[in-house]
Amino acid sequence: MNKGFVLWFTGLPCSGKTTIAKKVKSILEEKGIDTELLDGDTIRDYIKNKDFSKEGRNKHLRYIAVMAKLLEKRGVGVLCSFVSPYRENRDFARSICENFIEVYVKASIEECMKRDVKGMYKLAKEGKIKNFTGIDDPYEEPLNPEIILETDEETVEESAEKVISKLKEIGFIEEGYSQEEEEEIKRRLRDLGYIE
Ligand SMILES: Nc1ncnc2c1ncn2[C@@H]1O[C@H](COP(=O)(O)OP(=O)(O)OP(=O)(O)O)[C@@H](O)[C@H]1O
Ligand SMILES: [Mg+2]
């Protein structure tokens, strides 16, 4: 069984959490690492939680943290992508997960507003939605994240690579051949008659 870990992506809406988490996930999968993505949008679709008040967010993120902890215990590389604007939520997740890696997906509010993938910043500025992080709800920057991604300047690939390097550095990815590469090498050696 692999060693489980939790990559917790936090940042303003549209900073790039989902995009980068998906990229990292596909790199990890290529390396034969079992992964699971818990993403803000998909999880809220399932559990129909539309409460974005501080209390609502607290409760929601506590569920997510517990889910991540359980998956991590089973050897999964868990990727969590949530705005998670309050330090106390992220600190709670950190306190219950064994191998917790906080990834601050940093982007200026101006850049995020320009991206506005789902049109939410526009609605928030018009006052049509309330409690929108960055507009009328606070975002508490991480104080000591393990990784900072500067998505105003980096490409998605560069950011993903930074995460992978960190995982190598702290020993969650073995340097060397991936499972697929190993299989290919074995196949060739077998064809040449060196191994059974
Ligand atoms: N360096 C970068 N890293 C990540 N995303 C980038 C970068 N440059 C541009 N983008 C674009 O920014 C957008 C980020 O959207 P994404 O849905 O990933 O953000 P998010 O942080 O998950 O937002 P939300 O909190 O609303 O779910 C995408 O359209 C992505 O292509
Ligand atoms: Mg997202």
| Domains of the chain in sequence order | 5-191 (3.40.50.300)
Q: Which residues contact 121 (CB under 8 A, 6 or more apart)?
A: 13, 14, 112, 113, 132, 134, 135
What pLDDT is stored for residue 113 in this prediction? 97
Ligand 1 pocket test: which of 15, 17, 19 has the largest number of ligand atoms within 8 Å of its C-beta?
19
CA nearest neighbour of 174 among 35, 31, 34: 31
pTM of the model: 0.90
List per-residue pLDDT tens for the chain, 196 residues long: 679 999 999 999 999 999 999 999 999 999 999 999 999 888 877 877 778 888 888 899 999 999 999 999 999 999 999 999 999 999 999 999 999 999 999 999 999 999 999 999 999 999 999 999 999 999 999 999 999 999 999 999 999 999 999 999 999 987 777 777 888 999 999 999 999 8
Question: Which of 109, 60, 98, 85 lies closest to 10, judged by CA?
Answer: 85
What confidence score (pLDDT) does residue 150 get?
98
Atom of ligand 1 nearest to the CA of 40: 27
How many Cα atoms sit within 13 Å of 138 on the Cβ side?
6
> Which residues, listed in sequence order, are joined to residue 77 by a DSSP beta bridge?
5, 35
pLDDT value of residue 141: 97
Determine the pLDDT at residue 1: 67
84 catalytic? Reply is yes
Q: Which residues line ligand 1 (CB under 6 A)?
A: 11, 13-20, 40-41, 81, 83, 115, 117, 151, 154-156, 159
